[in-house]
Each structure stands twice: as C-alpha cells, then as structure tokens.
Amino acid sequence: MEDSLLATLVLPAALAMIMAGLGLSLTAADFRRVLIFPRGVAIGLLNLAVIAPALAFLVAELFRLPPELAVGLVLLGASPGGAMANLLTQLAKGDTALSVTMTAISSCAAVLTVPIYLGLAVEWFGAGDIGQVRMGGVMLRVLLITLVPIAVGMAVRQRWPERVEPALGGVKNASLGIFGLVIVGAVVSQHEMVMDNATAVAGAAFALNVTAMAVSFVVSKLGRLDDRQATAIALELGVHNASLAIAVGASLVAALTVPAAVYSAFMFGTGISFAYVMYRRNAPLAAAAPT
C-alpha cells in the first residue's frame, strides 16, 4: 500500500482538490471572524485541537485496539472538520459561519496538529511498525495537500471573484463527490484489511463519533454559547475530514486507514440524525437572528 499509486498519487491529489474547493469558498473574513467572535472560535478550536484527539486516545485504550488501529483512530481524531460538517450545520440551522471558520483554521493548523498527535500516538501505543515515521515528512505531506491548495483556492477567488462565485455550488458538490470516491477507493483497495478489522474497530469508531459530538456540545454550552454555535462545534467534531486521515495513513501503513474508513461508514448517519434533532431547536433562533 505504501508504494501503490493510490497512496502516493491518487489519494493526495483527490484531497488536494477537496482543499482547493474549500479555499475557493473562503475569504479573509472567514479568518478575521476569530477576532470578531473570539469565544465561539476559541471553544470550537479547543474541542478540535485538544478534546477530539484526547478522546481518540481514551477510546483506543478503552477498546484495547491493536497498536496500528489505535494510532489510526488518533490520526482520525486529530484530523480537522470538513465540508460535510459545514453542509450539515447549514441544514441544522446552526452557525454556518462559525463552522466554516473552524474548518478553515483547523485545516491550516493540521500541518502541525496531525504530525504531533501522530507522533505521540506511535510512541504511546508502541506501534513499532511505524516507529520510524519521520514527522518532517508527514508535516510536508499535510502542507502540500491541505494548506497549499487552500491558499491557491483563495488566491483564485480573490483574483477572479466574478467567475468563482457562480460556480461555488458546483464546486461544493464536486468536492463532496470526490470525498465519497476517496472513501470508497480506500475501502475497495484495502477490502480484506477493512473487513478483517471492521469488527475490532467499529465499536471504538462509533464511540468516538458519538462521544465527541456529545462532549463538544456540552463544553460549548458550558462556555455559554447558544444552540446554533454548539451545533456547529458538535458537527465539526463528529464529521471529520476522514480523507485526510486516509491519505496520510495510506502513505505510511495501510492499517492506519481502517479506522477512518470504518468511521466514514456511519458518521454521516449520526451527523444527519443530530442535525435533524437540532434543526427543530435552531430554526426559531435562526429566524430571529439578524441577517
């Protein structure tokens, strides 16, 4: 798998296209929002950068996952939210602007957070097969498939806004389609490995998904955020950018991709269910919010 065309070219190229699509949808205002609404963004990023990875470590320990699967679960937990989280937040009448800002900042920060948590997980779980991972190489890989495409996408939008704006809907749909193809491609290419380990990792992946959404929602409410903001943060933690975890994991050890592939099989179901429940609570707030 490490030397396969899928791992070295197709997955990174597909993810870079997804990130470029995200960049096309972003403006400088999405990053300035951290100064305008600091508490919401700070609580959201705390959940993404600290709580989600910590929960992944805890769940991997509780379910006694084999080392490589445990590292893969942490890799997933350390991955940022994605475009699907933004879409579900919008459908739930949550704070979409907050969701987009968290996705943008966490995707850029992934250049540091993903390698750091990956290295900690390798050491903590004693994953000898991937003990020689060079974090500098992982950091460069994440940089090339996340931050660089986002920057290119933003530059294109700034240069040709009149062309980009009408195409944003199609770009978003294409990104979601590519995301689906990445997941399907990873599962198909490693069908036997996914099937052999699905039972072992399914419970842990489901527990991480539900716990992350529940804990982040409670933390958000304790931080005095409203339901719409808490919805955005919970969905950001529940619907990870699994394609990033798969792309990074596939370049190292094939088993690292299994948790993200299994997680993706049901994260949309739980995310949609949560969005439906919160829609009923958020709709009155959204209607009363200033436009």
Residue 286 resides in a domain: no
Q: What is the predicted pLDDT for the residue at 2?
A: 42
> How many structural domains are present in the chain?
1
Asked whether residue 191 carries a pLDDT value surpassing 90, the answer given is no
As to burial, measured by CB atoms within 10 angstroms (0-12 exposed, 13-18 middle, 19+ buried), residue 21 is buried
Q: Which residue has the tokens 């955005």?
A: 232
Residue 225 resides in a domain: yes
Residue 220 resides in a domain: yes
Judged by average pLDDT, the poorest of 24-33, 96-105, 170-179, 232-241 is 170-179
pTM: 0.86
More confident residue, 6 or 71: 71
Residue 67 resides in a domain: yes
Q: Report angle CA 286, 287, 291 to the nearest 5 degrees.
A: 80
Strand partners, 240: 81
Provide the pLDDT confidence category of residue 17 given band limits of 50, 70 and 90: confident
Cα–Cα distance between 291 and 197 in angstroms, integer? 48
Provide the pLDDT confidence category of residue 131 given band limits of 50, 70 and 90: low
- Of 112, 127, 100, the closest CA to residue 33 belongs to 100
Residue 246 resides in a domain: yes
Q: What is the predicted pLDDT for the residue at 254?
A: 81
User: What are the residues whose beta carbons fall under 8 Å from the beta carbon of 89, sequence distance 6 or more?
Assistant: 95, 96, 99, 231, 232, 235, 236, 275
CATH of the domain at 33: 1.20.1530.20
Strand partners, 81: 240
More confident residue, 66 or 11: 66
Q: Which residue has the tokens 């600290």?
A: 50
State mean pLDDT over 248-268: 87
For 181, the domain range is 5-279
Residue 284 resides in a domain: no
Provide the pLDDT confidence category of residue 8 given band limits of 50, 70 and 90: low
Residues 56-65 pLDDT 10s: 999 999 999 9
State mean pLDDT over 27-41: 85
Residue 88 resides in a domain: yes
